[in-house]
Amino acid sequence: MLDDNRDIYREEIMEHYRHPQNFGTMKRPTFEAEALNPLCGDKILLQLKVNKKGVVEQVRFSGAGCALSIASSSQFTEWMVGKTVKKLKTTGPDQIQKLMRAKIGPARLPCMLISLYALQKMLN
Amino acid sequence: MISEIRNQFPILKKRGAKPLAYLDNAATTQKPLAVLETIDEFYRTKNAPVHRGVYALAEAATAEYESVRDHVQDFINAKQREEIIFTSGATAGINMVVSGLAADYLHAGDHILLSDMEHHAMIVPWQDAARRKKLKIDFVPLTAEGRINLGVYKKLLAKHKPKFVGVTHVSNVLGTENPVREMTALAHKVGALVLVDAAQSIAHMPVDVQKLNCDFLAFSGHKMYGPTGVGVLYGKYELLERLPPYIFGGHMIEQVTRAKTTYAPLPEKFEGGTPPVAEVIGLGAAISFLQNIGLKNIKKEESKLTAYALRALKNISGLTLLGPATADARAPIFSFTLKGIHPHDIATLLDREGIAVRAGHHCAQILHESFSLDASVRVSLCVYNTPSEIDRLVRALVTIQKRFYA
């Protein structure tokens, strides 16, 4: 198996899967939305707490999924903290690609982007 | 013998970083040279419209196309050649039957009996027909081993007197071979018509429609070493006569006037439009490929492979197999989960080892739900697979577990 630093299943990513950051739920989120992975039916609930200045203070995600969806959600939610809602509205797939530092084929792309789908759903 | 068979499949010789272990045969099989060459030869030297041209080339194409109908009749032992309808695949065949029966044979309140292991191709057309015609659909549950619960089946037949029973010959997830002959006889006692979905059995065991005595039977070419875009619907002559056409247009007519159209006799009535001529002829070559090896031989060899695979998979800790644990009445299809690892991760990581498997619900969400699962990994074998490919699979699965549990 590949073990270079572009591998989507490299140890750093697997650590995010085994111990995801921001995993869980919060009470009274400012925004929340659920995204469905059409490939396998996995669901992820994404919740954001935003302060008066429009800055994200806390993010939580929950649900079950494959390593790619959990690890990418873990990294993406870490990145979201401290960003403005305005910034998040213009965030696209490139950001997750950048965080994951890996490319994935079209069949598994929805797994990697599932928390982005939830984000787009809640902000639009 | 196995190397002789493998040699006939060019794609199996493909060498990438890792040799290809193609274990997704329930989705589609690879194609032997005989099929590829037959199709190529047809387009190079014989291509012409069937049933219409009066020139020699068209007559020859028509004769070849129609000879495959005889070949299929012989292959599944139908009584008459008119009982063989060429379709685009098993899904189209099932849709033809459902749509035709719903049109005027069935009435509001009638019951339809399906099983929890049916493919979406059987369930979804009936759900649509049920919504329009106010039919009731009941599902026969499965046993823990993944077989149809025949006790409940008998009870549901007695209780609801369904007008129709739809059952798969072999489950595309569990590999279970259903006792369709007995199930058909029981269904006929209450007056139900029976449609057998033979998509997963046709390439793995002899299928004899007169022995099964089913009313309809559907299968696809591409799951039996033939091309995509072609399939067969078998129906008893008098029933096909009663069913209305499904696709309207050229060729399926007897006479068209401004006032009305009368339809052609069987089988033309169900073959509107230009048929997939090259694909039908390719299907003929695929049937010859199967007959040259012999379906009984195939069943025997695949049964050995099934027993081997079941033993090998059993040794993997954390692996839960869906479906029967023994090789009896079972096709070489193995769906499973690995504790703590998502099926899609398993499939992606197996792909890196050159091993092609399917992950997901395999168009059988109700089945997965009845086992409280969203998805599984499916390994499906056929006549060209070997024990060493199963060994490779097992080694790769153990390596994946190590990576995930690190």
Please state the ipTM of this predicted complex. 0.87
Residues of A within 8 A of B376 (CB-CB) are none
Percent of chain B with pLDDT over 70: 100
What separation in angstroms does the CA of B203 have from each of A58, A107, B26? 56, 28, 10
The residue-averaged pLDDT of A55-60 equals 97
Q: Which of A2, A8, A9 to mutate to test the interface with B (most CBs of B within 10 A)?
A: A9
Name the band, by pLDDT with cuts 50, 70 and 90, for residue B150.
very high
Question: What angle, 0 to 180 degrees and rounded to 10, lies between the N-to-C axes of helices B295-314 and B277-293?
Answer: 80
Domain end, chosen from B274, B291, B308, is at B291
Taking an 8 Å cut-off on Cβ atoms, the answer to whether B399 and A1 are in contact is: yes
Classify residue A4: in a domain, yes or no: no
The residue-averaged pLDDT of B186-201 equals 98
CB contact set of B379 (below 8 Å; sequence gap of 6+): B23, B309, B333, B334, B335, B336, B357, B393
Question: Could you list the residue range(s) of the whole structural domain that residue B157 is in?
Answer: 36-291
Q: What is the pLDDT of residue A5?
A: 64
Q: What is the pLDDT of residue B381?
A: 98
What separation in angstroms does the CA of B330 have from each of A107, B172, B255? 31, 11, 48
The residue-averaged pLDDT of B23-31 equals 98
Question: Could you list the residue range(s) of the whole structural domain that residue A26 is in?
Answer: 11-123
Tokens of A104: 């994935």
> What one-character DSSP code corresponds to residue A104?
-
Higher pLDDT residue, B294 or A1? B294
Q: Give me the number of domains chain A comprises.
A: 1
The residue-averaged pLDDT of B24-37 equals 98
Alpha-carbon dihedral B80, B86, B91, B95, rounded to 10 degrees: -70
Taking an 8 Å cut-off on Cβ atoms, the answer to whether B342 and A1 are in contact is: no
* Beta carbons of B270 and B110 less than 8 angstroms apart: no
Classify residue B30: in a domain, yes or no: no
pLDDT digits (tens, 9 = 90+) for B219-254: 999 999 999 999 999 999 999 999 999 999 999 999
Q: What is the pLDDT of residue B233?
A: 98
Q: Residue B139 corresponds to which amino acid? A: F
What is the maximum span of chain B, computed from C-alpha positions, in angstroms? 75
What CA–CA distance (Å, rounded) separates B367 from B323? 11
Q: Say if residue B170's pLDDT is above 80.
A: yes
Name the band, by pLDDT with cuts 50, 70 and 90, for residue A122.
very high
Residues B169 and B235 placed together within one structural domain of the fold? yes
Higher pLDDT residue, A8 or B255? B255
Residues of A within 8 A of B361 (CB-CB) are 40-41
CB contact set of B234 (below 8 Å; sequence gap of 6+): B76, B78, B83, B84, B85, B209, B216, B217, B218
Residues B229 and B89 placed together within one structural domain of the fold? yes
Check if B354 contacts A (Cβ < 8 Å). no
Cis status, amide bond into B267, omega within 30 of 0:
yes
Mean pLDDT across chain B, nearest whole number? Answer: 96
What CA–CA distance (Å, rounded) separates A19 from B15? 38
Q: Residue B268 corresponds to which amino acid? A: E
* Beta carbons of B220 and B241 less than 8 angstroms apart: no
| Other Cβ atoms closer than 10 A to B222 | 23
In CATH, what number is assigned to the domain containing residue A99? 3.90.1010.10
What CA–CA distance (Å, rounded) separates A7 from B276? 44
The residue-averaged pLDDT of A96-122 equals 91
pLDDT digits (tens, 9 = 90+) for A27-52: 999 999 999 887 777 889 999 999 99
Q: Give me the number of domains chain B comprises.
A: 2
What does pTM read for this prediction? 0.94
Q: What is the pLDDT of residue A2?
A: 45
Classify residue A3: in a domain, yes or no: no
